[in-house]
Amino acid sequence: MSNKVFFLLCVKAVYGIGNLSYGRVSARFGREVRNFSNIHKDNAVTIFSKMGDDTNLNERFVKDIINQNNVAVFSKTTCPFCKKVKQLFDDLKISYYALELDQIGDNGPILQDTLQNLSGQRTVPNVFIKGHHVGGCDKTLSAHADGRLFDMLEGSFKNYDFDLIVIGGGSGGLAASKEAAGFGKKVAVCDFVKPTPLGTT
């Protein structure tokens, strides 16, 4: 049995294949599963046995969830920050797939280790949009607050060198720049000074 990998399989949410026979799943994914009678129509996650130690297969499984859902949330039912993120998506009527890591037994810590390797984050919530890692609760709420969340959903992931560019270095421009910098933002100030032989004081 050492060469057989028993895997956690998200049938509905990840593969969208509904009712399948043992043979089709075994042939398509090369994974042995034991019993399809426990698959529920409205429950994406079915545990067949403990996940194996094959890091590549575990990463492939997590990547399947991330890449085949516009929004994927790795969550825990008891985590208040997870509830905040899911409530945000509910309020915005954004469909998402949530995998509750505390509801899948010993497979939860295995998936958290896999997420650590893939994203550098082991804590929950761990949010991915359009295959890109967003982060936890604070970063997701921040993306919504500054308007980037819907850009991400449209596939726009822009990285800027500055959070704010101020045109004009007069008293108003400098005041605005200092205020933004006080909030930890990266600010650039653009100004034009006409060269003069008299210099400045």
> How much is the average pLDDT of 93-100?
96
Report pLDDT for 14.
Answer: 43
85 and 137 housed in the same domain? yes
User: How many domains is the chain partitioned into structurally?
Assistant: 2
The answer to whether residue 187 sits within a structural domain is yes
The answer to whether residue 16 sits within a structural domain is no
Is the pTM for the entire model greater than 0.95?
Answer: no
145 and 79 housed in the same domain? yes
62 and 141 housed in the same domain? yes
Provide the residue type at 11 as one letter.
Answer: V
119 and 149 housed in the same domain? yes
183 and 133 housed in the same domain? no
119 and 181 housed in the same domain? no
126 and 181 housed in the same domain? no
The answer to whether residue 7 sits within a structural domain is no
120 and 171 housed in the same domain? no
Report pLDDT for 101.
Answer: 95
171 and 79 housed in the same domain? no
Taking every pair of Cα atoms in the chain, the longest distance, rounded to a whole number of angstroms, is 88
Instruction: For residue range 3-53, list pLDDT tens digits in order.
Output: 333 333 443 334 443 333 222 232 223 333 333 233 333 333 444 355 667
The answer to whether residue 20 sits within a structural domain is no
Quote the domain boundaries for residue 174. 160-193
150 and 178 housed in the same domain? no
Residue 93 sits in a domain whose CATH number is 3.40.30.10
> How much is the average pLDDT of 74-102?
96
Instruction: For residue range 118-177, list pLDDT tens digits in order.
Output: 999 999 999 999 999 999 999 999 999 988 999 899 886 665 667 788 888 888 888 888
The answer to whether residue 15 sits within a structural domain is no
Higher pLDDT, 38 or 192: 192
Report pLDDT for 9.
Answer: 40
97-100: strand order across its sheet: 97-100, 71-75, 126-129, 132-135
136 and 181 housed in the same domain? no
The answer to whether residue 3 sits within a structural domain is no
The answer to whether residue 2 sits within a structural domain is no
The answer to whether residue 100 sits within a structural domain is yes
Report pLDDT for 144.
Answer: 94
